[in-house]
Amino acid sequence: MNVAVTTAAEGFPRRAFTVADIGRMIEAGVIHEDEKFELVGGDIVMVAAEGLAHERIKSALTVAISRALPDHLTIGVEATLRLSDTLMLEPDLAVFPKALFQRSTTFVHLDRGDAQLIIEVAASSLAYDKDLKARLYARHDVREFWVIDANSRSTWMHTGPNGDGWSSIEKRGPDDVLTPPALPGFSLRLGAID
């Protein structure tokens, strides 16, 4: 589906959309439910399609995380997460309590601290994910946030959310073993993915 997009005119007022507005636009067919976008500060931001390297890493992570999940947690693959009235993100992977599926209606509604682990696999969006998205996830008390470069297979592991930042950001290489505290049975080397 081809959708017309434009670059925002900086300095001019724009209408700030809410998550409720987005839900109504999807119901009315104004926005197709398969369109890839996020809501950031009330702005609708289009998201690029993923390439093969991105899909390969996301697939391997999904399988490995699914095997290590404790009973009370679930994994959302490209689940639309509602973090506030004007913030709706769609990370590649998110680990959060299963109970959130029962209490949410249109989108997964995360309260502060609900997300145990969020992973963004990036190629063209690497700077956006490491900067703006890292700040947004810290602000909403995501316990751990990873940004994975799909091309180099490097990982930036963010822990200890603190305001708009993180108390620790560690860069790991493709041969380092990734082990998140929320998933004791999980370990993976990105360099080992075929």
* Residue 142, domain CATH: 3.90.1570.10
Q: Answer yes or no: is 66 within a domain.
A: yes
Domain extent at residue 74: 52-192
Name the nearest CA neighbour of 38 among 123, 128, 148, 140: 128
From the CB of residue 189, how many other CB atoms can be counted at a distance below 10 Å? 14
Give me the number of domains the chain comprises: 1
From the CB of residue 1, how many other CB atoms can be counted at a distance below 10 Å? 6
Q: Answer yes or no: is 46 within a domain.
A: no
| Half-sphere CA count of 179, side-chain side, radius 13 A | 5
Q: Answer yes or no: is 47 within a domain.
A: no
pLDDT beyond 80 at 147? yes
Q: Answer yes or no: is 97 within a domain.
A: yes
pLDDT beyond 60 at 2? no
Please tell me the predicted confidence (pLDDT) of residue 81: 86
pLDDT beyond 60 at 19? yes
Average pLDDT over the chain, rounded to an integer = 85
CA dist list (Å): 51 to 9, 56, 66, 90, 150: 29, 9, 22, 17, 9
Q: Answer yes or no: is 183 within a domain.
A: yes
The pTM is what? Answer: 0.81
Please tell me the predicted confidence (pLDDT) of residue 64: 92
Q: Six-digit token pair at 19?
A: 């998550």
| Range among 67-71, 109-113, 124-128, 151-155 rated most confident | 151-155
pLDDT > 90: what percent of the chain? 47
What digits encode the pLDDT tens for the residues 155-165?
999 999 999 99
Please tell me the predicted confidence (pLDDT) of residue 62: 95
Q: Answer yes or no: is 40 within a domain.
A: no
Q: Six-digit token pair at 193?
A: 């993915």
What digits encode the pLDDT tens for the residues 101-125?
777 666 777 788 889 999 999 988 8
pLDDT beyond 80 at 49? no
Q: Answer yes or no: is 135 within a domain.
A: yes
